Structure 1
C-alpha cells in the first residue's frame, strides 16, 4: 500500500450478514488474520518496545513478526506441541508473548495467559487445570516462584518444559527431567528446525483459555474459539477512527480479554503500530515519544488523568482562572452540539483561544495526536467521560465480559454523533441482548434485569467445569452475565449493577453499589472504596484514602492529628470528617438517593492489592476477604 494515510484497513462488515461463522474473506483463525495483515502491511511497523531501560525503541515490521511467529511455531513442534493442546504464558506484555500466542494458533493449539503478579497458588491451579505442554515465563523470579508452588515430580510439569525469557540462568530449577531453555537458545534452534505443515484453519477450534479471576473460589477457564474472538474483531473493523499506520500505546495486560482482543488482535487487524509501554508509572512520558493516535485503558487510568490535570489547575490563581474559562467555553460548545463522547472542535475566537492555551497543553501530555480512546473492563463515570471530551479527545465506553470475547456493546461503532452518555451504546453486529426482569424485583426499577447475551462471541463453556457452564448458559444458547441493566426503546444498553452485589436495606430499598463506588472515586480523597449495607438500616463505606490528598486536606480542616498513617485512619474524628466531606461534596443528586448515603465509614490505611489478597489479578475487590479483614469494625457499627 503506497499511501496509507487515514485509510481503513478493511471494508466495514455488513451488520445484517450471517454472523454464525466466517464469510467471504473473513479470517478463520488468529494466524489467518495475521497473515492477511502481513500480506497487506508487510513492511509497516508492527511492534515497538524498549528492550532495556535507557535504550531507544526497537521496531519490528509485520513481515518480521510473522517470521518470528513461524520460528516459534517450529520450536514448539520440536518440543512436542500439537493441535488441540495448550501453552501457558506467565509474562507481562512483550513481543515474545504475542509471537508465542500466534505460533500456538498456527498449530491449532490454544494459549493461556497469566499475570506475573498472581499468587503462585493460582498459577498452580491454572496449570494443573489446563495441562499446558509448554510454559513461557518472564524471568528467573517468576520461575523461582513457579518452582516453589508446582509439584516436585517431573511428570506433573509440562512435557515440553519451560522457556525462560531473558539471558539470566535459572536460580531455582524445576524437578530433574524438566527442561529449562532460554528464549534466545530456543529461537536459535527453531530457525533450523524442519518446515511446518500447513496452518490449521478450524474457526471453531479453541484459540484462548482465559481464566477469570473470580472474587470468590478458584478461577474458571473460559474457552474462546477462533471465531469467538474474530467475530468481535470483524464486527467493529473500520468503524472507529483507527487507520493503517496509526500508533497505539499498549499497556492493557494481554492476559485479560479486553487487552488481548483489542490491544493486540484488533490492532494487528487494523494495521496499527503497536507500541508497548515499558513502565506503567510513566505512561504519559512514553506517550511523548510514541505520540499515539489511539489508546485503550481502564477507568482507573482515566480517573487518575482527570485528578492530575485538575490538581495542576489548582496550583495557582492564574491556572484556576484559565482552566475555569476553558471549562466554561468547552462545556457550552459541547452542550450546544448535543453530541456525547465525540470530540467537538472549538468554535469562535474565545473558545479557540482557551482551547489553545489550556486544552492543547493537556492533549500534549499524550503526545498531541490522540484521536480515539476506548474505556472498558469497568464502568466509566459519565463525569470523567465528559471531562475527557472537554479536553478534546473522543472517548467511548464498551461493555463486555471474558465469556463474550469480550465485547457486547459500545458507544462509537454506530457512527459519529450517535453515542450516548449513561449508556454503553448499542450491541455490536451479530450480538443480541435480552433483559431478564424475573431475577430482579425492585419496584422502583421495573425495567431492570439480568443481561443475557446471544451471539458468535459467546464462549464455548468453562474448561473442565460443565456444572459452572450450565449455571450461566440458557437453554437457547444465551449467556447470563450476572450484570443488571436496561435497554432503551432504541436499543441503548445501560448497566445498573451486578445481580450478586445488589443488596436490600432493612427498609426494603435496593442499592446497586458499583456506580456509586465509581462516583466516589472521583473525589481526590478516595483511592479505593466499597459500599455495603446488607441487613442494615443504612449503608456504610470502607475506604482506602489517598494519602497525598488527605494529609493536606486534614491539616487545612484544623484537626489536630498525631501518630502514623494507620493511627490517623483509625481516628474517629478523621473518619467523621471524611464522611461529612464526602456526603457534602461527592454524594450529589441525582447520582445518590437519600437512602443510599452512608451513615458510617471505615478507613483502611493499607492499599488493596493482589499481594494482600484483597484484589484479583484483574484488580477487582475480593469482597469476602475485605469484609473478613474488617469484620470486627463492621459488627461494631450501629
Structure 2
C-alpha cells in the first residue's frame, strides 16, 4: 500500500473537525413527530469519546469485534467511531437480516458486543442474538430493546470521555463488511483503515466533494457504498448528513435535506421514474420537454418534486443502470453518473465523469486502479490499495478471490470501448446454456425488460430450456390493475406482449424470450428474493419458480400470469 497521510485516517478526521469546527452542525436526525436532533462536531466527538471509554472499560482484547445492527442514524456513525477509538473492529449488520443470518454473522465474527439500534423487525430478529451477548440500545431502538439493554444516553451520562487522540495504524484491521451476496453465506470482507483513507481520497479527486455538500443517508450503512460515500465522505470533507426517518417519510426527508450529492440503486431510480410518469405520462412529458421555455420549467418542477433541485452530483450503482433509464434522467436535466465496484475493493473501481457523456459504460478507472480483462473468460480483474485483506477466517476463499499473480477476480464480464471506458456485460457465473447449447447473458436483456413502467424487477432465466424466459415482478400499480377488471388485465397483457416483441426484435435468435411471466407478489428482503441493496437473488428465483418453467412455456402464451 502507498504511504497514507495520517491526517486522512478516520479517527484523525474526527479529531480535526472536533478542533476546527466544534460548533458546526453536522448530523440531522429525525426523532419522530416532526422533531429533529441537530448534532455539532463537538457533540458527536463527546458521544464517541464517552462510548469508547465504556467499551475500553470492558477489558476486551484489542482488535475485538463489536457489531452494529441498526438502520441508519446518528448513533450508527458514532458507534462505528467509538469502536475504532476503543481499539476494536466494527461489524455492521444489515437491518433487514433474518435471525439465522444475524446469528451466523455474530458467531462467525466472534462479536463481543452488539449495538441494537433503530429497527423495524426486532421482534423477529432478536432470536438471532446469542444469549448472554452484551448489547447496547439507542434512543431510537424498539421499546423492548430499550427495556432489555442499557441505553446509549445512560452509558454516556455516567462515563467520562476518553482523553487524548488515540490513533489506529493504516495497516490495522478496521472493519468486517459481510457481503449481502446473491448466493451462499455472507463472507466477512476485511478492510484496513489505510484502505478506507486511500479510497475516499481517491474518490473525491473525481468528485469534488466539500464541506458545503449535503447528503441524505438512507441506503444501509452496512453496504460498502453508503459506508464509503456517506460515512467516510462525511469524515473527510465535514459535509452535512441528514438521515431518513422511514420509508413513508422518504419524500419529505429528501425535501428537508435537499441533497447536493445523491446516490441510489437502479431499482429506486426506476421507482422515482414510475412515480413521475403516474402523474405525467410519457407522451405529455416528452411534449412539454420539447417546448423551449416550458421544457426548462418542467425540468425544474420535476427535480424539485423529487427533492433533487439542488443536486449537483447524482450517481447510481450496486447493479447495472439501464441505458434507457440514464437517458431518461438526462433529458430531465439530471444526469446520473454510473459507478462500479464491489465490497472487496471498497466500491472504488470505475465511475463515469460528471459532464462527460459516458452513458452505457461505467467510465474509466479511478487514479491508482489497475484493471485487465482475462482473454479466456472475459472476466474483469483489478488491483488497487483499496482491495480487501481477504475474507475473515476463510483462507481458501481468500486465495480463490485472487489470481496467481495477485489480481482481484471480480466475477464480472466486461469490455472496453475505444475511449477506454468500461462496459459491464454480465456476471461470469450468470451465463447459462439453453438446450440448444447456446449461451445467454441475461444482464443486457434484463436492462431492457425493466424499462417498462409495469415492471419493477426482473430476471432472465431458462438453463436447459429451448429458449430463455423473463420473470418480471410487477410494480404496485400494475399488480393492482392485473387483479382488477378483465379489461384492465387484457390491456396490461397487450402492453407486456408488445414490450416482449420489441425486445425480441433486437436479440439474436437464441436469446429471444419464449414468454414473460408476470409475478404480482412483491420480491422483498423479507421473503428472500432480493438483497438489502435490491439485487435480485437468482438462486431464490430458481428455487421458487423453476418447477413451473416447462408448464409456462407449454402454454404458448406471450404473457403468463403468475402469483
What TM-score do you get using the length of structure 1 for normalisation?
A: 0.80
Write the deviation string for residues 236-286 of structure 1: whole angstroms up to 9, x where unpaired.
225325332222222121010011111221133122110111123433322
Write the deviation string for residues 370-417 of structure 1: whole angstroms up to 9, x where unpaired.
1111111111112221222222224211100000112211012xxx54
- How do 1:4-23 residues align onto structure 2 when only pairs under 5 Å count? 20-23=1-4
Tell me what 2:501 maps to.
584
The separation in 2 between residues aligned to 1:409 and 1:147, in whole angstroms, is: 39
Tell me what 1:230 maps to.
197
1:457 matches 2:386: yes
Alpha-carbon offset, residue 453 of structure 1: 1.2
SS in 1 for 2:399: helix
- Work out which of the residue numbers 358, 361, 375 in structure 2 matches 1:420: 358
The separation in 2 between residues aligned to 1:23 and 1:220, in whole angstroms, is: 27
- Work out which of the residue numbers 542, 549, 552 in structure 2 matches 1:634: 549
Q: Say whether the 8 Å CA contact 2:243–2:253 is kept in structure 1.
A: no
Tell me what 1:518 maps to.
447
Alpha-carbon offset, residue 147 of structure 1: 4.5
Tell me what 1:392 maps to.
333
Tell me what 1:371 maps to.
312
- How do 1:36-47 residues align onto structure 2 when only pairs under 5 Å count? 36-47=16-27
The separation in 1 between residues aligned to 2:286 and 2:380, in whole angstroms, is: 40
Tell me what 2:263 maps to.
296
List gaps (5 residues or longer) in structure 2: 555-563
The separation in 2 between residues aligned to 1:142 and 1:136, in whole angstroms, is: 15
- Work out which of the residue numbers 431, 455, 461 in structure 1 matches 2:369: 431
Alpha-carbon offset, residue 423 of structure 1: 0.7
SS in 1 for 2:190: strand
Write the deviation string for residues 300-319 of structure 1: whole angstroms up to 9, x where unpaired.
121111122222222xxxx9
SS in 2 for 1:388: helix
1:254 matches 2:221: yes
Q: Say whether the 8 Å CA contact 2:203–2:348 is kept in structure 1.
A: no
Write the deviation string for residues 112-145 of structure 1: whole angstroms up to 9, x where unpaired.
1112221000000000000112200026976654
Tell me what 1:610 maps to.
525
The separation in 1 between residues aligned to 2:347 and 2:360, in whole angstroms, is: 20
With over 3 angstroms needed to count, the CA separation of the structure-2 counterparts of 1:87 and 1:376, relative to structure 1, is same
- Give the total of aligned pairs: 552
Write the deviation string for residues 350-387 of structure 1: whole angstroms up to 9, x where unpaired.
53x12333111011121521111111111111222122
Alpha-carbon offset, residue 611 of structure 1: 1.9
Tell me what 1:163 maps to.
136
- Work out which of the residue numbers 9, 32, 55 in structure 1 matches 2:12: 32
The separation in 1 between residues aligned to 2:196 and 2:373, in whole angstroms, is: 24
With over 3 angstroms needed to count, the CA separation of the structure-2 counterparts of 1:271 and 1:514, relative to structure 1, is same
Q: Say whether the 8 Å CA contact 1:44–1:245 is kept in structure 2.
A: no
With over 3 angstroms needed to count, the CA separation of the structure-2 counterparts of 1:307 and 1:142, relative to structure 1, is closer
The separation in 2 between residues aligned to 1:536 and 1:552, in whole angstroms, is: 31
Alpha-carbon offset, residue 95 of structure 1: 0.9
The separation in 1 between residues aligned to 2:242 and 2:416, in whole angstroms, is: 37
The separation in 1 between residues aligned to 2:286 and 2:58, in whole angstroms, is: 62
1:274 matches 2:241: yes
Q: Say whether the 8 Å CA contact 2:370–2:384 is kept in structure 1.
A: yes
Q: Say whether the 8 Å CA contact 2:173–2:193 is kept in structure 1.
A: yes
- How do 1:81-100 residues align onto structure 2 when only pairs under 5 Å count? 81-100=60-79
Tell me what 1:68 maps to.
47
SS in 2 for 1:201: coil
1:597 matches 2:512: yes
With over 3 angstroms needed to count, the CA separation of the structure-2 counterparts of 1:107 and 1:509, relative to structure 1, is same
SS in 2 for 1:258: helix
Alpha-carbon offset, residue 229 of structure 1: 1.6
Q: Say whether the 8 Å CA contact 2:317–2:340 is kept in structure 1.
A: yes
Q: Say whether the 8 Å CA contact 1:80–1:133 is kept in structure 2.
A: no
Write the deviation string for residues 283-334 of structure 1: whole angstroms up to 9, x where unpaired.
33222222221111111121111122222222xxxx954x323433xxxxxx
What TM-score do you get using the length of structure 2 for normalisation?
A: 0.90
The separation in 2 between residues aligned to 1:39 and 1:518, in whole angstroms, is: 48
SS in 1 for 2:83: helix
Alpha-carbon offset, residue 89 of structure 1: 0.5
1:217 matches 2:184: yes
1:534 matches 2:463: yes
The separation in 2 between residues aligned to 1:558 and 1:189, in whole angstroms, is: 67
Write the deviation string for residues 493-520 of structure 1: whole angstroms up to 9, x where unpaired.
1100001111123444332112322321
Tell me what 2:343 maps to.
402
The separation in 2 between residues aligned to 1:106 and 1:355, in whole angstroms, is: 52
Alpha-carbon offset, residue 547 of structure 1: 4.2
- How do 1:43-58 residues align onto structure 2 when only pairs under 5 Å count? 43-55=23-35, 57-58=36-37
With over 3 angstroms needed to count, the CA separation of the structure-2 counterparts of 1:54 and 1:597, relative to structure 1, is same
Tell me what 1:495 maps to.
424
Q: Say whether the 8 Å CA contact 1:575–1:603 is kept in structure 2.
A: no
Write the deviation string for residues 590-625 of structure 1: whole angstroms up to 9, x where unpaired.
5x4443221123333311122222223333322222
Q: Say whether the 8 Å CA contact 2:4–2:198 is kept in structure 1.
A: no
